[in-house]
Amino acid sequence: MKTVKLSPICVALLCSLNINNKVLAESDTNIIESERAQKIETIEVRGRYIDGYNAHSVSGASRLDLAISDIPQSVSVITDAQLRDFQLTDINAAIDSATGINVERIETDRTYYTARGFDVTNFQVDGIGLPLTSGNNHADEDTAIYDRIEVIRGANGLMTGVGNPSATVNFIRKRPMASNALSLNASYGSFDNMRLQADGTARINDTFAARAVAVTQRKDAYLDRYSTDKNVFYLFVEANLTDETSLSLSHSYINNDAKGNNWGALPLFYTDGSATDYDRSTNTSADWSNWKVVKNNTVLELSHYFADDWRLRATYSHKTTDEDTELFYVYGTPDRATGLGTTGYGSEYDLDDKHDLADLYINGDFELFGREHQIVTGVNYAKLRYTDSSLYDNTTGNGFPAMPDLKLWDGNTPKPIFKDGLRGSDVEREQKAAYVTGRFNLIDDLHVIAGGRYNHWQAKGESYGKEQDVEDSQFIPYLGVVYRLMPELVAYASYTETFLAQKELDINDNMLDPVTGESREVGIKSELFDGRLLASLAYFDIQQTNLAKPDPRTSELPPTEQRYIGAEGISSQGFEIDIAGELYPGLNASIGYTDFDIEGDDKVAAYTPNKLFKLAATYDFRAIDGFSVGVNMRWQDSISREQGVVGDGFAHAGETIVTEQKAYGIIDLMAKYQFNENLGVSVNANNVTDEKYLTSLYWAQGFYGAPANYSATITWKM
């Protein structure tokens, strides 16, 4: 496939067409919260501005009531329509369709995410959250409870503060709709994939309303021995106490039980340096491997509108994660002729993770020097406590068995007795923050967004023999400028930061200063076809500084005595194009292209795809009422990873071993027919070209993505 190039046509597309108005309202199926043209009362409007791929506003970028075109950062939204059209029922599949995001599937049940060359660790629910505990996500988390997914690329210093200058992913939960409704879905697909989903709203009276979602899904997989059993339940109850005050209580429950999951993945090269090439179904798991993850999240929210367009919002969230696993890892380098040379490694791993999150802010409009401006100020508190433990079998001989050729491996190995070598963690992290942001209307069509966030971050405890005690404070500034060149076109520039505390010590036994990330971005955004299409072009320059690297003066010392220095870290520069909405009557699309270069770490630069193309499009046939077709595609350029050198005794002894994954594209297709307003059916075909590819080179191991597969879904609504 040819690499997508930025052409003058792309730039012209952003500038050429005319619209009549700015974005009118927040495009949320469940809440378009307020039209306050009259300063006397609050009017709540419910509905969808456009039922397609164009969202008009996001809530996770600043807490200000802004249209996407008025936010001086790259923003995209995976809408409810896109999730439904392509059956993006797990968050990995959903995020894979977002502009600029790369999903690193290192194992069946553990996933990393990157954007612009940096790990994405900031995941929020309705605008609040903490970085992922271990920098990655576990289990098959479902999208059924979410109305949309917002992706704010670059550092989001105002709302997160701690983390990498990559992106923030904000999951917006479903809330009660304007009237009673019920939707039932049943689907069946390849690998015995069976899924049932119910989603309903009940308007109890003028005060109370509720929405509930329930999902059960059981499926096998293309991988040997791997299967999952997932159950989801979600309940959201709201009470409109007065015209100005609302209170809500919600709870979500996800239980994902995986059998035959891998821990680690396939070896990618033989001892002679040549590449392995296993069947796609090859799995390193034992037949007793399992990974059960249970997640609970309870959220209490209070919202109150004051006179003169001011609003108070308070949120408290309590999240828990309980993981129980019995895992089997395969390590070593196999011989090309025999396939022998690898060793098994059994472990029992348990995790108990608790998050308490609180956020309180007030925002509103005020007048100064004859012009109206906006301001938001708030405080945030987050506490994370996690304990985990690992057990091994060092005595029976079953804990570290010699492996046969993986091409013949059937998972049959005696289950170890996990009672040896107890190791683990007991860590507590706490973050306190205060933030303020103003959007100032300096002159006609010129707005400046300026503010900052003060973060106090501390951690204490121990993890696998390493002390985790660290404490730091940082003020994170934010500055953005938006100028409306013409009614349909804006230009913007922004600067923001993140920081990440470090526990490593320098040669004087002092903790290193935090890793600091800086994100600079300039771009243009255009609202086309009377606001039905939003297009943007952005150039970004990201720097991460003071990253801990071993001090060469202590390299000969044991690991516990080595010390570190702050290095320049990684930088990336590049551009993104994002187009979302109705390109033509009946044709909805979300199109994204990212192209960037990484400097400062050759390994990261090699295994990170720096050209990404995403396309999701559906077309509603006017001639056949209710019939539509669509395509969902993602493409990435080639990646590689150096794996050491060929050992002595081989023809290419001393040569560097390089694992390569050539550029590839995955194409999914869909077709659906709506028989009437109540009944519809859809068919989805994934990876229709049956492309064989490694899911990631983030680690030195890897496994292959799913072959061509299919599903059919029946939907009934009332």
* Amino acid 32: pLDDT: 37
Residue that is written with structure tokens 């990484």 in the block: 598
pLDDT at 24 over 70: no
pLDDT for res 56: 72
Assess whether pLDDT exceeds 50 at residue 224. yes
Of the chain, the percentage scoring pLDDT greater than 90 comes to: 70
Buried b (16+ CB within 10 A) or exposed e, 398-411: bbbbebbebeebeb
Q: Are 494 and 479 in contact (CB under 8 A)?
A: yes
Check whether 612 has a pLDDT greater than 70. Answer: yes
Query: Tokens representing 161?
Result: 């503060």
What's the whole-number mean pLDDT along residues 332-343? 96
Task: Tell whether the model's pLDDT for residue 49 goes beyond 60.
Answer: no
Q: Record the pTM.
A: 0.88
Which carries the bigger pLDDT value, residue 566 or residue 2?
Answer: 566
Percentage of the chain modeled with pLDDT above 70: 90
Q: Contact 54/76 with Cβ under 8 angstroms?
A: no
pLDDT score for 571: 92
Average pLDDT over residues 18-30: 35
Q: What is the pLDDT of residue 549?
A: 79
Over residues 440-465, the pLDDT tens digits come to 999 999 999 999 889 898 889 988 88
pLDDT tens for 239-289 read: 999 999 999 999 999 999 999 999 999 999 999 999 999 999 999 999 999
CA distance 643 to 270: 11
- Contact in structure between 461 and 471 (CB atoms under 8 Å): no
- Region 521-548: mean pLDDT is 92
Nearest to 168 by CA among 22, 62, 301, 247: 62
Which one, of 138, 5, 179, 93, lies nearest residue 717 by Cα? 179
Contact 494, 72 (CB under 8 A): yes
Higher pLDDT, 8 or 353: 353
Q: In this predicted model, what pLDDT tens digit does every residue of 557-578 receive, in sequence order?
A: 666 677 888 877 789 999 999 9
pLDDT of residue 41: 37
Instruction: Considering only residues 5 and 485, tell me which one the structure prediction assigns the higher pLDDT.
Output: 485
Which helix (DSSP H) or strand (DSSP E) does residue 437 occupy?
strand 420-443
CA distances from 318 to 147, 355, 359 (A): 21, 6, 12
Closest CA to 80 of 92, 89, 69: 89
Q: Domain extents for the chain?
A: 8-717
Name residue, tokens 């409810």. 80
List, for residues 99-145, the tens digit of each pLDDT value.
Answer: 999 999 999 999 999 999 998 988 889 888 877 767 788 988 899 99
State whether residue 68 is helix, strand or coil: helix
Report the pLDDT averaged over residues 181-209. Answer: 97
Assigned token pair, 351: 């995790």
Tokens describing residue 586: 């009946």
Per-residue pLDDT, 45:
37
pLDDT band of residue 13 (cuts 50, 70, 90) is very low
On whether the CB atoms of residues 266 and 705 are closer than 8 A, the answer is: no
What mean pLDDT is predicted for residues 574-601? 95
What pLDDT is attached to residue 31? 37
- The span from the CA of 241 to the CA of 248, in Å, is 10
3-state secondary structure 631-657: EEEEEECCEEEEEEECCCCCCCCCCEE
Token pair 């039932």 is found at: 184
Hey, how many other C-beta atoms are within 10 angstroms of the C-beta on 354? 16
Mean pLDDT of 415-431: 93
Phi, psi angles (nearest 5°) of residue 647: -75, 170
Inter-residue contact 478 to 451 (CB < 8 Å): yes
| Residues forming beta bridges with residue 715, ordered by sequence position | 185, 680
State the distance between the two ends of the chain, measured CA to CA, in whole angstroms: 44
Q: What is the mean pLDDT of residues 357-365?
A: 93
Q: How confident is the model at residue 28 (pLDDT cuts 50, 70, 90)?
A: very low
CA dist., res. 363 & res. 313, Å (int): 9
**Dist CA 701 CA 334 (whole Å):** 13
pLDDT of residue 162: 67
Angle, CA 661 vertex, CA 273 and CA 647 arms, to 5°: 10
In 3D space, the residue among 617, 503, 512 whose CA is nearest the CA of residue 53 turns out to be 617
Helix ranges, 574-635 (H): 602-607
Fold of 8-717: Maltoporin; Chain A (2.40.170)
Cα 292 from Cα 259, distance rounded (Å): 8
- Stretch 140-161: mean pLDDT, rounded? 84
Q: Give the number of residues written for the chain.
A: 718
